[in-house]
Chains A and B, each alone.
Chain A
Amino acid sequence: MTASAATNAAARPVEAPEVLLEIRNLEKHFGGVHAVSNVSMDLRAGIVTTLVGPNGAGKTTLFNLITGHLVRSGGSLRWLGRDIAGMKPYRIARLGIARTFQDLRLFNDMTVEENILTVMEPGALPFSLSGPSAREKRAKVEHVMERTDLIDKAHVRAIDLAYAERKFLSLARIMAADARLWLLDEPASGLDPNSYETFLRLLREEVAAGVTVCIIEHNLDIVVGISDRIAFLDRGRLLADGEPKSVLENPELTAIYFGDRA
């Protein structure tokens, strides 16, 4: 079922876009809990995939497996054909996979500006010898702060920001990171309607600019508005993977989603 649904979603363009990330039979057990269980799916260039499913379904765990923060119990992960399972998170990040965290994990004692600047400086040397010049980096930081409405807060520490600003700083960091694939863990949860619109606009702009997004999101309005494809997880298993309509109109899935399972 998974494979056919995936090709459906990608079938509209003349040719299916290239597969960035290939997930096959992925498994993660915590003791007796099967947090991720035999999950196979492809993330294709330019396609916005939304992961939905009840709390505890294994969505965040799936992200953690992709980014190397958790080590898989079985299965394979390939980035552009290359095996990345077992690689350290910083190496996977350098391949072009960036993420946000459900609990944000901002660099709390650093200013907004420093939070954004530091993600552009992955090197370990005290003074970078290659890469963009200090001035280019500052210009990019300015640009990202303007787009996320954080320019007035440039010198405010992350910990002192309001909730919505913290969410936008989390986005600003990933925007500065220059990654090809974004994994967004509930980036819009708890946003007020205005912030919400800003968030959607930013996301559309980034997708148009060529970023591939996989997003965990509970709000079905967003899901329908921006997704090319929905993957439905429950208790670690991928129950459906296809066009938004076909997944959302499946009464069995909505029953699970709204919690009135038998």
Chain B
Amino acid sequence: MQAYLLNLGVLISIYSILAITLNFIMGYAGIFSLAHAVFFGVGAYTGALVAMSLSASIFVTVPIAMVVAGVLSLALALPALRVRGEYFVAASLGLQVLAVTVFSEWKSVTGGIGGLIGIPPVDLVGYQIYRPAAFFPLSLAVLVLVLVATRLLVHSSFGRSLTAIRDSESAAESFGKNVPLIKTISVVISAALAAIAGVLYAHYLAFINVESFTLDTSVLVMAMVIIGGTGTAAGPVVGAALLLLLPGLLSYMSFLPQTQIGAIQQIIYGLGMAVLMIFRPGGLVGRSKAKARTRPKDPDTEAQAPASRPAEAAR
């Protein structure tokens, strides 16, 4: 039982990191990415390869994985952020599909479908951390660090620029903001931080393959963000915990037919998400009434204001 809970705690920490880093671009920059699992995967493969060939020290694996994921994210950000938002979603979907192919076909590096096995445990200043009782505090500590780092960023001048761009791109640029550059930096930061989750995941399981980094994972993480509350501090963690606890909770309900638990789970997911979005469109942690939705966003195309005739305006 204890092992079960610790295992769940580790997974919730890792997925929370993914949800927090996706929320950073979704909630604050308004960039919707379906490729978040790619950077999770790049982090995991890079961390595993570095640990197997160079050093398993977290101070070696994590920085290298962050740099690799950050640089690769430029391949997505540079072309896609120069055009409108919808294109980014499409481009990210393309990258996700491409990455799954690379993960499963580049056998000499990723081990193909079989994946990488025998990944050494993470080394923290000389201590090998592999037992769940030790790994859970580590993953929790990393989660807290990532959470603090993103909060600091959101409340810095950079975070304000991101939110300004999300609310009105044309107004932001007319106050001197280099919109493509700022968006690109945010995508790089998000990808690099997501890679940390990948490194933890690779060490924890000691085995990785492409199945953990598919479109399903990207969609799951996006669901965690939306259900928890896009653009909130606690929402992504709440969303990650809820979606990972749900399967376990369902299997404890002994009155449910155990053979169909998978299907029942899907139905509850689907219904829950639809009901939530109707009654709490801002997510569980978000504002109960998303007031922003009741007033149209300032359009980025010039709107024709109602004619203010001189006589009226003089009132």
Contact of B163 among A99, A110, A126 (CB under 8 A): A110
Q: A221–B308 Cα gap in the complex (Å)?
A: 14
Q: A108–B163 Cα gap in the complex (Å)?
A: 9
Q: Which residue of A lies closest to B158 (CB)?
A: A126
Q: A189–B310 Cα gap in the complex (Å)?
A: 9
- Give the residues in chain A near B249, CB-CB below 8 Å: none
- Give the residues in chain B near A98, CB-CB below 8 Å: 174-175
B176 at the interface (CB under 8 A from A): yes
B75 at the interface (CB under 8 A from A): no
Contact of B313 among A60, A105, A219 (CB under 8 A): A219
A103 lies within 8 A of B298 (CB): yes
- Give the residues in chain B near A60, CB-CB below 8 Å: 302
B177 at the interface (CB under 8 A from A): yes
- Give the residues in chain A near B307, CB-CB below 8 Å: 55
Q: Which residue of A lies closest to B299 (CB)?
A: A103
Q: A49–B69 Cα gap in the complex (Å)?
A: 52
Q: A98–B171 Cα gap in the complex (Å)?
A: 10
For the complex, would chain A's binding face be called helix, strand, loop or mixed by DSSP majority?
Answer: loop
Most chain-A Cβ atoms within 10 A of its Cβ — which of B173, B182, B295?
B173
Tell me, rounded to whole Å, the shortest Cβ–Cβ distance linking A14 to chain B. Answer: 35
- Give the residues in chain A near B179, CB-CB below 8 Å: 90
Contact of A106 among B171, B305, B313, B315 (CB under 8 A): B171
Q: A193–B298 Cα gap in the complex (Å)?
A: 26
A190 at the interface (CB under 8 A from B): yes
B174 lies within 8 A of A69 (CB): yes
Tell me, rounded to whole Å, the shortest Cβ–Cβ distance linking A246 to chain B. Answer: 18
A101 lies within 8 A of B170 (CB): yes
Give how many A residues have a beta carbon under 8 Å from the other chain's beta carbons: 53
B129-171 interface with A by 8 A CB criterion: 153, 156-158, 160-161, 163-164, 166-168, 170-171
Tell me, rounded to whole Å, the shortest Cβ–Cβ distance linking B270 to chain A. Answer: 29
- Give the residues in chain B near A173, CB-CB below 8 Å: 175
- Give the residues in chain A near B310, CB-CB below 8 Å: 218-220, 257-258
A239 at the interface (CB under 8 A from B): no
B224-243 interface with A by 8 A CB criterion: 231
A108 lies within 8 A of B313 (CB): no
A22-73 interface with B by 8 A CB criterion: 55-56, 60-61, 64, 67, 69
List the 10 closest pairs (A to B, CB-CB), nearest first: A122-B176, A121-B157, A105-B171, A126-B158, A118-B160, A105-B168, A105-B298, A107-B167, A119-B175, A93-B176
Interface residues of A (CB under 8 A from B): 55-56, 60-61, 64, 67, 69, 88-90, 93-94, 98-99, 101-110, 114-115, 117-119, 121-128, 159-160, 173, 177, 186, 188-190, 192-193, 218-221, 257-258
